[in-house]
Structure 1
Amino acid sequence: MILETSLHVSFVRYLGTIVLLYSAHVLYRGLSIRWKFRKLQAQGMPVPKPYSILLGHIPLMKALREGLPSDAHDTYVARKLSLNWKDYFPDASSPPPLAYLDLWPFLSRPLIMVFSPQACAQLTQDTPQPRHSLIRWSLTPLTGGKYLTSVDTSTHRVWRSRLNPGFSPKNLISQMDMLLEEVTIFVQKLKAKVGENKNWGDSFTIYEDVVSLTFDIIFRSVLDYKTNEQTKGSGPLFGSMMQLIKYVKKPNLMSKLERWLPAYRNDVSHGTKTINDILVPHIQARIADKVKTDGRKTVVDLCLEHIPAESNEKKPVQASLEYIELVLSQVKVFILAGHHTTAQAICWVLYEIHKYPDVLQQLRSEHDEVLSSNPEQAAEILSKQPHKLKGLHYTHATIKETLRVHALGQTHREGSPGFNFLIDDIVYPTEGMIIQTVPAATQARPDLWPRVKEFLPERFLVAEGHDLYPPKNAWRPFELGNTRCIGEELAMMEIKLILVLTLRNLEFDFTSKELNKLQEGESTPDTVDGNRVYRVGNGLGYIKDNLITSVKLR
């Protein structure tokens, strides 16, 4: 009994010592960060005000949130900081190229938000810095820690060179019939929701239908695997991917604690097993040449081409489980980026163009001119002459303008003693910091973009030297440099095909009648920039109320 008591006391003391040491470490780290920011302030670096020696920039973040809906995405906060720079950088005479933020203890390292195109280019193009380790951490629920953009730069280059051919224009053109097939299913589902006698149909949330479309497309493009989300409803792959995606978050105090919970471990374990049980046999069948292909290369095919070199065999019967898991880690991230962000982009394009009748009319006129005045012939024409999609210049510009207004991407890079920003002869240190580009802010700056609040596809059609011509390196929704989104061309093709096959057949109403009903009891409806439709959530986010609309035949 005495021995048990002694052991219990020893254990409690040991545990107490660990807690004390950890608390001391956390406190030391916090004090170190606060001291670093005092030095940055003394050096005249752009540290926004107010700054509290006790709470850092936590009060500032709270102040920036004022006036925004509680569910508004974090990008609106960053944009507000950049656009209202006179309020938060009172000593500055011009917009600062970046901002140093102290969000400890919610973020364990100082954060640099980059606003200027010149600084962004230095970070990602001129002297590209490695992606921050937080990317690996954020994607771990999907990848198990194995992902090409979170490994070292040389490994990234190897994998990028292997995968680039899968997203080349030539290979994507070979997928035109598949894309047309899936988009046609989407259009038929929309037509089923119109009212009788060319009247408006009932309201519905279009985002869910778009997600099903992009999910089907990315699986067929990357893996040549039919998920049939559009025709058969939510299946185990979709459910498991959504189960994992909800945990893809930046590392902060709350998300780190979440990963200690049994629910997290159970969800990730179950979701991963379900995906592996379905996809591993499919990959193994492709390795064994048991799956008939149509001659085009998928991302998985390109990965599998390198098995012989890695196994030193001319034609191995099967790849190692480790290699298949690595391939699957790439597949799952492509699926994440290829369906989630593309779905948002599609919704934003449809939403924006229906706010501007002149833009909508020009789009329809271009489609008539390039693809014949009979909209029912568009799919057949593109199937036989897929290059005609490249001739939709105004359509392309409209998509780019939408993605200027609603930038969805960003990148996080590792600060180091060997990399500093140099802007107008001023050196901005980055050692020990997380560096984040903020396209949503860069693309909204009135000093860079003339008539910034106007929706003007023409700015992407005018010649260099024109007042509207975009500033160099300022348009970056897919980011720029060696880690530019590899699926950019596929996403643009999807959006163009949806516009081609819908705009001349259907009318959309995004006036938010149902949203008005949802918010009837609220004294002040939720809006961002006066719009009741805005980006919500954390991480990748989504569109408010999944974008309510109704449709009718033209």
Structure 2
Amino acid sequence: MISDELFSVGHAAMAGLIACASTFVYLLVKGYQARLTFYQLRQKGMPMPPWNSILGHLLAVPPVMKTLPEDTQQPDAFEALCRATEKKDADSIIYLDMWPFADPMMVICSPVLAIQACQEYDLPKPHILHAFFNPLAGGANLFTMNGPEWKRSRALFNSGFSASYILQQTSHVVDEAEIYVDVLREHARKGKMFSLDDVTLSYMMDVIGAVTLDSRLHSQQQFNPLASALRRQIRWHVLDNEWNLLIRWNPVRPIVQRYNSYQMNNYIARELDKRYTEWTEDEKAASSRSIIHLVLAGYMAQQKDKPRSKKLDPTFRDWATVQIRLFLFAGHDSTSSTICYCFYLLQSHPEAMTKLRAEHDAVFGTDITETANTMREQPHLLNQLPYTTAVIKESLRLFPPASAMRGGQPSVYLQDDKGNRYPTEGTNMWILHSAVQRNPKYWPSAMEFIPERWLVEPGDPLYPVKGGWRPFEHGPRNCLGQTLAMLDIKITLALTVREFDIRHAYDEWDRLHPTTKVKSVNGERAYQTQSGGAHPADGYPCRVSLREKDT
């Protein structure tokens, strides 16, 4: 018996050694392949930082990171690296060898190359995106899908995001915006510093909840399990800049993430079951084009020749839950950030604020207490705000909430205006929206806030370069929700800028949280940090007061 036990222990030990050896060999081969790829790219003269045959470009990143805040978003570091190492006779692009932390990467900071990747070739979304989106959405979703599966899903949702239908959502958005205004009034009454980002996230969560689920979440006023679970999932999931391995590999994280998913899935499943029951009892329910009704319409179309079931098919419900989670995440996170940056830039440019307020007076009348009702009754007026639109687009240019990523193909080469060709095979292409939209090669006064660049005619030096503005991306895979996002921001500005003075409180925040570390990017204290999408640093501490009217 003892010999049998010894044999079992020895067998297990041998299996462990074989597993370790196999892992070591696998990593050795993968590492060799990665370094060989970049050796060959360097031999071909492809643009890249100084490269080490053992460590790749891992040594090139720390010097750049030292010049930036610890919590800055990753695109800021890669943008700085691109600008420091790009060739004069080539466009704004570099190759990065970050193995074993990332697959071979092309960092694109040029609109010319971005157009080719996302529009001309419409390259697929790479598998690496699943690791980011799956914990948030819960599985394969519209953002990460490719091929026929993506086309079918996109077609299902298109009608719910048409410009005419989105305008019909004005009343829903105004309802939630009025609560946001009440929250700001309360903060004005208290006079204390608070996080504008947190308040605005709850507001946008309520907006996207109304548009997606056709029901009100009321998360601005009280606890909502869906909103709470989603925001908690983001906090536990996004750790791009966390170098502490004890935090990054926290064994509690998978448990918390599963619990958050359970909470979100249960909430959405109940809503789906409720809407399905309503639909089966009243066919007129199909007239709505909220996201939840669109997915049910697709399901009902598939079931039209089958006996009607009293319950939703569980497989379909799981699929629908994933898509709804994606819309809830994407629909609230990026728009809230843009609202904060609009306030930030308008505070720094009082002349722009004066023009904005004058436009709102001209379109909605000078009695600000009637603005909400005016928008409900005449939503088309929101399409008559050219300067407001220019302010939003310029804010999105300077502070885009996200970037784009595409996967390379063996036969696809990108080509710049100088004739240089860049192979994409085996790479993930990261199109840095912030770098493309602030690239001085293509944008005059690239770092300045100039809303007028969106109002000039073609031929004017300020006129935007083709493909240079990409916060919602271009091409077949552009953002479905861009019309809704623009509507949300217009309504928010129209209901706030004439009633409040919203001023950041970074000086006060820094006195309360002193540090000798770097706390700005490109001279901006409200630099972007990664929290789902990109958000203003430190939650955008601010104070709000009732506006003192100009005399």
TM over 0.5: yes
Q: State whether residues 207 and 546 of structure 1, in contact with CA within 8 Å, keep that contact through their aligned partners in structure 2.
A: yes
Structure 2 Cα separation of the partners of residues 263 and 418 of structure 1: 44
SS at match of 1:149: coil
Letter in 2 for 1:302: L
Structure 1 Cα separation of the partners of residues 241 and 70 of structure 2: 19
Q: State whether residues 90 and 420 of structure 2, in contact with CA within 8 Å, keep that contact through their aligned partners in structure 1.
A: no
Q: State whether residues 234 and 531 of structure 2, in contact with CA within 8 Å, keep that contact through their aligned partners in structure 1.
A: no
SS at match of 2:477: coil
Equivalent residue for 1:217, pick from 207, 218, 224 = 207
Q: State whether residues 208 and 546 of structure 1, in contact with CA within 8 Å, keep that contact through their aligned partners in structure 2.
A: yes
Deviation at 1:541, TM superposition (A): 4.1
Deviations 1:136-187 (A, max 9, x none): 2222213343212322322111111110111111211121111111001000
Structure 2 Cα separation of the partners of residues 421 and 215 of structure 1: 39
Quickly say closer, same or farther: Cα 1:399–1:252, change in 2 above 3 A.
closer
Letter in 2 for 1:418: S
Q: Are residue 96 (structure 1) and residue 91 (structure 2) matched? A: yes
Equivalent residue for 1:267, pick from 256, 263, 266 = 256
SS at match of 1:530: coil
SS at match of 1:57: coil
Structure 2 Cα separation of the partners of residues 405 and 55 of structure 1: 34
Q: Give the 5 Å matches for 1:45-84.
A: 45-48=46-49, 50-84=50-84
Q: Are residue 530 (structure 1) and residue 531 (structure 2) matched? A: no
Q: Are residue 21 (structure 1) and residue 22 (structure 2) matched? A: yes
Bigger shift: residues 142-151 or 242-251? 242-251
Quickly say closer, same or farther: Cα 1:361–1:547, change in 2 above 3 A.
same
Q: Are residue 287 (structure 1) and residue 312 (structure 2) matched? A: no
User: Partner of 2:428 in structure 1?
Assistant: 434
Deviations 1:1-58 (A, max 9, x none): 121111111111111111111111111111111111111111111122x211111111
Deviations 1:177-206 (A, max 9, x none): 11111001000111112248xxxx221111
SS at match of 2:53: coil
Q: State whether residues 177 and 383 of structure 1, in contact with CA within 8 Å, keep that contact through their aligned partners in structure 2.
A: yes
Deviations 1:405-429 (A, max 9, x none): 1012212111120222122433211
Equivalent residue for 2:400, pick from 407, 417, 436 = 407
SS at match of 1:99: strand
User: Partner of 2:440 in structure 1?
Assistant: 446
Q: Give the 5 Å matches for 1:326-341.
A: 326-341=319-334
Structure 2 Cα separation of the partners of residues 500 and 420 of structure 1: 46
Quickly say closer, same or farther: Cα 1:75–1:414, change in 2 above 3 A.
same
Letter in 1 for 2:327: F
User: Partner of 1:238 in structure 2?
Assistant: 227
Q: Are residue 112 (structure 1) and residue 102 (structure 2) matched? A: no
Q: State whether residues 105 and 253 of structure 1, in contact with CA within 8 Å, keep that contact through their aligned partners in structure 2.
A: no
Deviation at 1:80, TM superposition (A): 1.2
SS at match of 1:413: strand
Structure 2 Cα separation of the partners of residues 468 and 117 of structure 1: 16
SS at match of 1:280: helix
Number of aligned positions between the proteins:
541
Q: Are residue 308 (structure 1) and residue 309 (structure 2) matched? A: no
Quickly say closer, same or farther: Cα 1:534–1:252, change in 2 above 3 A.
closer
Bigger shift: residues 239-248 or 341-350? 239-248
Structure 2 Cα separation of the partners of residues 287 and 246 of structure 1: 32
Q: State whether residues 79 and 444 of structure 1, in contact with CA within 8 Å, keep that contact through their aligned partners in structure 2.
A: no
Q: Are residue 140 (structure 1) and residue 134 (structure 2) matched? A: yes
Deviations 1:193-234 (A, max 9, x none): 2248xxxx22111111101100111111011122111111x3
Structure 1 Cα separation of the partners of residues 189 and 137 of structure 2: 44
Q: State whether residues 443 and 475 of structure 1, in contact with CA within 8 Å, keep that contact through their aligned partners in structure 2.
A: yes
Q: Are residue 515 (structure 1) and residue 515 (structure 2) matched? A: no
Q: State whether residues 139 and 248 of structure 1, in contact with CA within 8 Å, keep that contact through their aligned partners in structure 2.
A: no
Deviations 1:394-448 (A, max 9, x none): 0000010011110122121111202221224332111111111111101111111
SS at match of 2:319: helix
Q: State whether residues 110 and 439 of structure 2, in contact with CA within 8 Å, keep that contact through their aligned partners in structure 1.
A: no
Q: State whether residues 519 and 525 of structure 1, in contact with CA within 8 Å, keep that contact through their aligned partners in structure 2.
A: no
User: Partner of 2:317 in structure 1?
Assistant: 324
Quickly say closer, same or farther: Cα 1:255–1:469, change in 2 above 3 A.
farther
Q: State whether residues 132 and 412 of structure 1, in contact with CA within 8 Å, keep that contact through their aligned partners in structure 2.
A: yes
SS at match of 1:399: helix
Structure 2 Cα separation of the partners of residues 252 and 363 of structure 1: 37
The TM-score with structure 2 as length reference comes to: 0.93
Deviations 1:248-268 (A, max 9, x none): 559999899999864233223
User: Partner of 1:182 in structure 2?
Assistant: 176
Letter in 2 for 1:381: T
Q: State whether residues 83 and 441 of structure 1, in contact with CA within 8 Å, keep that contact through their aligned partners in structure 2.
A: no
SS at match of 1:551: strand
Deviation at 1:70, TM superposition (A): 1.2
Letter in 2 for 1:535: Q
Letter in 2 for 1:398: V
Q: State whether residues 73 and 528 of structure 2, in contact with CA within 8 Å, keep that contact through their aligned partners in structure 1.
A: yes
Equivalent residue for 1:393, pick from 365, 386, 397 = 386
Letter in 2 for 1:304: L
Equivalent residue for 1:347, pick from 340, 349, 353 = 340
Quickly say closer, same or farther: Cα 1:393–1:249, change in 2 above 3 A.
same
Structure 2 Cα separation of the partners of residues 367 and 34 of structure 1: 57
Letter in 2 for 1:410: S
Letter in 1 for 2:313: S
User: Partner of 1:158 in structure 2?
Assistant: 152
Q: State whether residues 83 and 92 of structure 2, in contact with CA within 8 Å, keep that contact through their aligned partners in structure 1.
A: no
Letter in 2 for 1:24: V
Q: State whether residues 74 and 538 of structure 1, in contact with CA within 8 Å, keep that contact through their aligned partners in structure 2.
A: no
Q: State whether residues 141 and 247 of structure 1, in contact with CA within 8 Å, keep that contact through their aligned partners in structure 2.
A: no
SS at match of 1:552: strand
User: Partner of 1:34 in structure 2?
Assistant: 35
Q: Are residue 416 (structure 1) and residue 409 (structure 2) matched? A: yes
Q: State whether residues 194 and 551 of structure 1, in contact with CA within 8 Å, keep that contact through their aligned partners in structure 2.
A: yes
Q: State whether residues 203 and 549 of structure 1, in contact with CA within 8 Å, keep that contact through their aligned partners in structure 2.
A: yes
Deviations 1:58-116 (A, max 9, x none): 111111112111111112112212333xxx24xx2245342110001111x20011111
Gapped regions of structure 2 (runs ≥ 5): none
Bigger shift: residues 248-257 or 113-122? 248-257
Letter in 1 for 2:178: T
Structure 2 Cα separation of the partners of residues 248 and 132 of structure 1: 19
The TM-score with structure 1 as length reference comes to: 0.93
Q: Are residue 297 (structure 1) and residue 289 (structure 2) matched? A: yes
Structure 2 Cα separation of the partners of residues 254 and 507 of structure 1: 38
Q: State whether residues 93 and 110 of structure 2, in contact with CA within 8 Å, keep that contact through their aligned partners in structure 1.
A: yes
Deviations 1:291-312 (A, max 9, x none): 9969531011111111134344
Structure 2 Cα separation of the partners of residues 479 and 225 of structure 1: 29
Q: State whether residues 82 and 95 of structure 1, in contact with CA within 8 Å, keep that contact through their aligned partners in structure 2.
A: no
Deviation at 1:472, TM superposition (A): 0.1
Deviation at 1:538, TM superposition (A): 5.9
What percentage of aligned pairs have identical amino acids?
28
Structure 2 Cα separation of the partners of residues 253 and 195 of structure 1: 37
User: Partner of 2:459 in structure 1?
Assistant: 465
Quickly say closer, same or farther: Cα 1:509–1:538, change in 2 above 3 A.
closer
User: Partner of 1:356 in structure 2?
Assistant: 349
